[in-house]
Amino acid sequence: MNQKLPNATTVLILGIVAILGSCCCNGIIGVICGLIGMNLYNKDNALYLANPGQYTDYNNLKTGRILCIIGLVIGVLSLIWFIYVISTGGWDAYMEQMEQIKNMGK
Is 90 exceeded by the pLDDT of residue 15? yes
Dihedral angle of Cα 41, 47, 49, 50, to the nearest 10 degrees: 160
Round the average pLDDT of the chain to a whole number and report it. Answer: 92
Is 90 exceeded by the pLDDT of residue 102? no
pLDDT single digits (tens) 16-46: 999 999 988 888 999 999 999 999 999 999 9
Dihedral sign from CA coordinates of 75, 78, 82, 84: positive
DSSP string, 76-102: HHHHHHHHHHHHHHHHHHHHHHHHHHH
Is 80 exceeded by the pLDDT of residue 106? no
Burial of 79 (0-12, 13-18, 19+ CB in 10 A): middle
Instruction: Evaluate whether 60 touches 73 at the Cβ level (below 8 Å).
Output: no
